[in-house]
Amino acid sequence: MTSSRQLLKTFSRPVPRYTSYPTAPHFHGGISGADVSSWVRALSREDKLSLYVHIPYCDRLCWFCACHTKHTLRYEPITAYLESLRHEIKSVGAMVPSGVRVTALHWGGGSPTMLTPDDMRRLMGWLRESFDFAQDAEISVEMDPNDLDEARYDALAGIGVTRASLGVQDFDETVQKTINRLQSFEQTAAVIAAMRARGVRSVNCDLLYGLPYQSLETLSRTVKQITSLRPDRIALFGYAHVPWMKKHQTLIPEDALPDAEARFEQMTLAGDMLAAAGYQPIGIDHFALPDDSLAAAARTGRLHRNFQGYTDDGADALIGLGASSISEVKEGYWQNIPAIGEYRRLAEAGELPVVRGIAIDDEDRLRRFVIERVMCAYGFSACELRARFGEAAEHVMAEARAYARHNPEICRFDAFGFRLENAAFPFARSVAATFDTYLEGGRGRHSSAV
């Protein structure tokens, strides 16, 4: 059997993260606000809806970050942005058919916890006025420990937050200084304790490997520290160095970045440590305690993948609100304009601030399902594929059969379907890419697969 280290040489080429299909580089300007309006209005009253709200401001700029965000030390721009967001929430909410329930809400950024306690409550009030929330809706918020105080903790608990999400990256001081992200273990522990004391039932933390000056030793210390806090979920991401997209990443010294083999060693070490600490591996980069809902979803085949990564969110549609946010419905995808000034102008005029998107057809839906199954379950069932797509599935299964025949060291295809071998699990992104017909066009540059 070929080892994972040997496979690294073949499968570490840059490929998409597959949080959508087709992926974002293939979105185009041919999708209009009118298209989006018709798609939203076509939701069925039985559909479940997930919402994402983007707060594109930070009071410090982390140099590793690839998100759409702006640095500000003044609150006035945030106040103005929230007013525009209120307009968009009202416009989109009016399009959603009666009966559609919101089952999940996520505030991302940027740093949503920069909002004042009153603005947190106001934003949640606007959302509840415009959308129908299920009683048990999951509400998660990304939190920066440097922003938080007792009043904000109380406000977050008061708006019904059920999951706290914290970026940790690495606790080593040298690494933190190099990426401009100073955050101590003590700060992180205090946030987790404060949210749990207020009844928040789930906490997830993000770790990064592949950072400048990061070593097996520093990463090992960080993993030990974070597992001592017992967060319910841990995401273990590889740092995506994309300075051609994010100019501030040029502030990170490239000669301090680990090479592909060192990144793989870091990923393997951290993954092994998390598993030894009782966390169940989920897909290519998540870990969860066995009683967490994400672990249950992985065990029962209900794991999904969207722009927020792995999720147990079973909603039929995802609508993103705010500058640069991305939405997904059965007809396709769209993205709001990232430029905050133009976003504000359109939102306050009552127009949908759509800048690009893509309509999808049945072939896209078939390949999206296959790619998601490879990313979530390391393969797909032939029986399920035929049940969902009928004869249309046969040509994709023929592709899978041929791929398995030429790559017997990493996968197999039999009467049950397509399945990766265990050693190939870390390279699921590269295998998924074989079913991506858009990738052949060469549009878009991507981060390393490991």
Phi, psi at 214, each rounded to 5°: -75, 140
**Which pLDDT does position 89 carry in this prediction?**
98
Report whether 302 contacts 314 (CB < 8 A).
Answer: yes
Q: Quote the CA–CA distance of 72 and 78 in Å, as a whole number.
A: 9
**Which pLDDT does position 5 carry in this prediction?**
67
Q: Kindly report whether the peptide bond that precedes residue 320 is cis, defined as omega within 30 degrees of 0.
A: no
Query: Which residues have a Cβ under 8 Å from the Cβ of 284 and sit 6 or more positions away?
Result: 375, 425, 426, 428, 429
Two tokens at 180?
């401009």
Query: Which residues have a Cβ under 8 Å from the Cβ of 117 and sit 6 or more positions away?
Result: 151, 152, 154, 155
Q: Quote the CA–CA distance of 305 and 436 in Å, as a whole number.
A: 16
Could you give the dihedral angle defined by the CA atoms of residues 315, 337, 144 and 82, in that order, rounded to the nearest 10 degrees? -90
* Strand pairing class (101-109; 132-143): parallel
* Chain CA centroid to CA 107, Å: 12
Q: Quote the CA–CA distance of 140 and 133 in Å, as a whole number.
A: 14
**Which pLDDT does position 1 carry in this prediction?**
45
Q: Quote the CA–CA distance of 346 and 183 in Å, as a whole number.
A: 37
Two tokens at 96?
């959603």
Tell me which residue of 1, 5, 3 sits closest to 264, measured CA to CA.
Answer: 5
Q: Note if the pTM is more than 0.85.
A: yes
Per-residue pLDDT tens, the chain, 450 aa: give them: 456 666 776 776 788 999 999 999 999 999 999 999 999 999 999 999 999 999 999 988 887 887 778 889 899 999 999 999 999 999 999 999 999 999 999 999 999 999 999 999 999 999 999 999 999 999 999 999 999 999 999 999 999 999 999 999 999 999 999 999 999 999 999 999 999 999 998 999 999 999 999 999 999 999 999 999 999 999 999 998 888 878 888 889 999 999 989 999 999 999 999 999 999 999 999 999 999 999 999 999 999 999 988 999 999 999 999 999 999 999 999 999 999 999 999 999 999 999 999 999 999 999 999 999 999 999 999 999 999 999 999 999 999 999 999 999 999 999 999 999 998 999 999 999 999 999 875 444 444 555
Report whether 206 contacts 165 (CB < 8 A).
Answer: yes
Q: Domain 23-329 belongs to what topology? A: pyruvate-formate lyase- activating enzyme (3.80.30)
Q: Quote the CA–CA distance of 241 and 447 in Å, as a whole number.
A: 7
Q: Quote the CA–CA distance of 327 and 323 in Å, as a whole number.
A: 12
Element (H, E) at 290: none
In the chain, where are the structural domains located?
1-13+361-450, 23-329
Phi, psi at 285, each rounded to 5°: -150, 15
Tell me which residue of 194, 132, 198 sits closest to 159, measured CA to CA.
Answer: 198
23-329 and 1-13+361-450 share a CATH fold: no
Q: Residue 335 pairs with which residues in a beta bridge?
A: 326, 356
List the alpha helices (DSSP H) in 183-246: 185-197, 216-228
Query: Which residues have a Cβ under 8 Å from the Cβ of 107 and sit 6 or more positions away?
Result: 53, 55, 123, 140, 141, 142
DSSP helix, strand, coil percent of the chain (3-state; round to 5): 45, 20, 35
Q: Quote the CA–CA distance of 269 and 263 in Å, as a whole number.
A: 10
Cα separations in angstroms, 53 against 6, 50, 139, 189, 302:
42, 10, 11, 26, 24
Architecture field, domain 1-13+361-450: Orthogonal Bundle (1.10)
Q: Quote the CA–CA distance of 217 and 230 in Å, as a whole number.
A: 21
* Strand pairing class (132-143; 163-169): parallel
**Which three-class secondary structure state does DSSP give residue 113?**
helix
Q: Quote the CA–CA distance of 363 and 392 in Å, as a whole number.
A: 8
Phi, psi at 163, each rounded to 5°: -140, 130
